Structure 1
Amino acid sequence: MGGILKRFSDIMSANINALLDKAEDPAKMIDQYMRNLESDLGKVKAETASVMAEESRSKRLVDECNDEIAKMQTYAEKAVVAGNDADARQFLTKKSQLVEKQASLAHAYSMAAANAGKMKEMHDKLCKDIDELRERKETIKAKVAVARTQETLNKIGESVAGAQDNLSAFDKMEAKADRMLDEANAMAELNKTAEQADLDDLAKKYDTQASPGVEDELAEMKAKLGLK
């Protein structure tokens, strides 16, 4: 009995919050704690039933002994009334033996009752812890799930931030490429303009014709008018 009382003394001081604070994974810890408590509760129930049975047996023995003491007292009185002192002495001797036995039985009953009280206390404490854990189990798991989701979002956010940095670098490269293309197009346009100017000058060389002299033009005009 002493061993099981010592083993379950730790259960009496168990603190669910303290256990969860130390847990790396509260969701798994709370499931494990629940299994441990239910296993302990089954053992405590069995031991409590045994101790309570011992308490009942001890109480019955005390009651039976008290009944026998009362009977011996009654028989002794009847023997005295009947004038049979020798019989009365025998009844009183038996009563004396029963009184000594009753003291021993009462002591055993007292210990059995104390043990039963301790076991009942532990049983009630375990039941209370299990009820509390059942009520909080899903809430705690939900909080853990939210926390893990937030951690995932935080990691994704860090990745997105890194991607944004990469996009920014690509934007800079694209802007540089656009600038290079614009400069190349501008240079091509300038080259085209210079080449066209040269061609125009060359064409003017062949398009230019000598202007007729004033005298030739005057003679041609007179000819048309029929003048000499």
Structure 2
Amino acid sequence: MGMFSRMSDIVQANLNAMLDKAEDPEKVIRLIIQEMEETLVELRSEAAKHIAEQKYLDRQLTQLDKHAQEWQAKAQLAMDKDKEELARAALVEKQGYVQKAVTLRSQYEQLSEVLGKIQDDTGRLNAKLAEAKQKQKSLAVRKQSAAVRLKAKNVEYSGKVESAMARFEQYEQRVDNLEAQVDAYDVVSGNAADSNSLATQFRELEHEDTIEQELAALKKNKAA
């Protein structure tokens, strides 16, 4: 009866709950399917044994009924011959076969009940097995889909990284250009300042010459 108890546990099990709690749902569903298939093999073996027992009981019951009928006929014959005691003895023999047949029929009915339960359980277990195999296929599809999506995400992430690096290089180039403009401005400003300073010196010299010339002219006029 341990097998029937295990089978009942399997049939009543909530596959979704078991898979939700599992760290490796694929492994769990594979083990569940293996357990169901092994239990089905045991159920078939148990059914075959009970069917064989029924066939044996059928043969036994046929023989018992035959013997009971024979003794019934003998009892009738004895009564026809006014052999009451002999008829009584024949009926006692007949009753022995009848009682044995009653016991065997009770066993036969018990076997029929067990076979009926095995048939029902086999049907339910087959339905549960079909459900488990469907979930196994679903898990395989989901796993493959997840792998494809992960690969796509990796490619997308890689593309985003490359794009970010390209933008960073652009920003870096812009900063380099700005710095170059500042440096160029400093160079141009420095040259212009030097040029202006030199021109100023020459103008000052020319101004001094003019003043000296005018001063010399004044002295000359005074002397005259």
The normalised TM-score by structure 1 is 0.71
Structure with greater helix percent = 2
Q: Write the letter of the residue equivalent to 1:33.
A: I
Matches within 5 A, 1:46-57: 46-57=45-56
Deviation at 1:93, TM superposition (A): 0.3
Aligned residue in 2 for 1:120: 119
Decide whether aligned partners of structure 1 residues 190 and 88 sit closer, same or farther in structure 2, where only a CA change above 3 A counts.
same
- Extract unaligned runs of 5+ from structure 1: 211-228
User: 1:60 maps to which residue?
Assistant: 59
Find the counterpart in structure 2 of residue 108 from structure 1. 107
Aligned to 2:40: 41
The aligned residue for residue 133 of structure 2 is: 134
Between the aligned partners of 1:3 and 1:28, the Cα distance in structure 2 is 25
1:222 corresponding residue in structure 2: none
Would you say the 8 A contact 1:55–1:109 is kept in 2? yes
Structure-1 residue corresponding to 2:177: 178
Q: Percentage identity across aligned positions?
A: 21
Residue 8 (str. 1) matches residue 7 (str. 2):
yes
Judged with a 3 Å threshold, the aligned counterparts in structure 2 of structure 1 residues 173 and 38 are, in CA distance, closer, same or farther, namely same
RMSD of Structure 2 on Structure 1 (CA) = 3.8
Aligned to 2:72: 73
1:118-167 C-alpha deviation (Å, 9 max, x unpaired): 22222222323333433453233102321344356557766776776676
Match in the other structure for 2:17 = 18
Q: Check conservation: 1:44, 1:123, Cα contact below 8 A.
A: yes
CA separation in 1, counterparts of 2:30 and 2:202?
98
Q: Give aligned pairs, total.
A: 209
Distance 1:58 1:202, change over 3 A: farther
SS at match of 1:8: helix
Task: Give how far 1:23 is off.
Answer: 2.8
87 and 179 in structure 1: CA distance in 2 versus 1, 3 angstrom threshold:
same
Residue 193 of structure 2 is matched in structure 1 by 194
Distance in structure 1 (CA, Å) of the matches to 2:50 and 2:5: 15
Correspondence for 1:95: 94
Q: Partner of 2:82: helix, strand, or coil? A: coil
Query: Equivalents in 2 of 1:176, 1:69: separation in Å?
Result: 116
Kept in 2, the 8 Å contact 1:69–1:95? The answer is yes
Letter in 1 for 2:98: V
**Aligned equivalents of 1:98 and 1:197: distance in 2?**
145
CA separation of 1:8/1:136 partners in 2, compared to 1, >3 Å: closer, same or farther? closer
Report the Cα offset of residue 41 of structure 1: 1.8
Aligned residue identity for 1:44: L
Instruction: Tell me how far apart the structure 2 counterparts of residues 161 and 203 of structure 1 sit (CA, whole Å).
Output: 63
Check 1:203–1:51 CA distance in 2 against 1; reply closer, same or farther (3 A cut): farther
Letter in 1 for 2:60: L
Query: Which residue number in structure 2 is paired with residue 214 of structure 1?
Result: none
